[in-house]
Chain A
Amino acid sequence: MTTSTAAPRYNLYWFASPQTFYPLAGKLVPWFAGLAVVLTLIGLFWAAIGLAFNTRLSSMMATAIAPTGALMTFLALWTGALWGRPTWGAYWVWDARLTSELILLFLYLGFIALQAAIDDRRRADKAGAVLAIIGVINVPIIYFSVKWWNTLHQGASVSVKGSSMATTMLWGMLIMALAFWMYAIAATLYRVRTIILERERRADWVRELAAREAIK
């Protein structure tokens, strides 16, 4: 633990100072990145299930997760650039972590575009699933990029063994990471409901919902 200032731990105003907040904001960045990566893995999971067992809902889940994953990846790159400018002196460098994260964004956009370009839903699902399975190779590359290549990005600040961050910052980061997780889950569940309605609108159960005015 590196607590540089001698402020009491329970002083909330200390937490509100730019001096403490500034590095905290920087530490948030990897969590967006992590979130994007884990969403990819979940998307891949559903895509693979859909491909293997031909289940409709798993493909819908994969489709529903992709836009939120793309947005989170974009936010990771954006906040990372704003953190990098004062810290590294550059908004962007072709560093291993940054570049692999950018590729992740392109994979998300490619997934969305590919699905949108194919009219036949089941073919679109299959094509998307194959792309997701190939794209997942990027996830370990992002994770290990700070170890494999000795470029600008620092190594992991937080691990199972402990953290190199100040306690207040660590808590702030964990709370914000949890908050964004909850947001991502909520957004994905909301979107998958819409996709279900769009695809199953001729099904009896959807019509019964409509008759009972219970669609919302």
Chain B
Amino acid sequence: MNWGSWDAFWAMGGYGLYVWGSYAMVAAVLAVEVWMLRSRQRAAASEVVRQAARSQATEGARSKA
């Protein structure tokens, strides 16, 4: 079976809601998880960098004193 038009493609032979509903939820869930993974990793990495900078500053001040 081929589709004569875009409408026919989206309709999926009357099963459009079920087919596209599945695709949409999978895409949404994966997109949200990837976004959450990235933002959490960035937050953790910047926290490490900030702490390293802070401890270097304290060590520098201590060695001068």
Contacts and interface: CB of A to CB of B under 8 A. Distances in A.
Interface in B20-35: 21-22, 25-26, 29-30, 33-34
B61 interface: no
Interface residues of B, number: 27
A193 B25 contact: no
Contact of A215 (B22, B49, B55): B49
Interface in A47-91: 67-68, 71, 74-75, 78-79, 82-83, 85-86
Interface residues of A, number: 35
A71 B34 CA distance: 12
Interface stretch (A94-102, A154-162, A206-214): A206-214
Nearest to A197: B44
Given A193-B41, A201-B51, A68 B1 contact: no
A75 B26 contact: yes
B1 to A, nearest CB: 4
Nearest to A193: B41
Determine the main DSSP class of A at the interface with B: helix
Contact of B33 (A68, A193, A211): A68
Given A18-B19, A210-B49, A75 B13 contact: no
Contact of B13 (A22, A197, A207): A22
Contacts of A75: 25-26, 29
Interface string B1-45: 110000000001101011101100110011001100100110011
A86 B15 contact: yes
Given A25-B19, A68-B33, A216 B45 contact: yes
A55 B15 CA distance: 50
Interface string A5-20: 0000000010001110
Interface stretch (A115-123, A124-132, A145-153, A183-191): A183-191
Contacts of A193: 41
Q: Give the one of A17, A18, A79, A206 with max B CB within 10 A.
A: A18
A100 to B, nearest CB: 21
B44 to A, nearest CB: 4
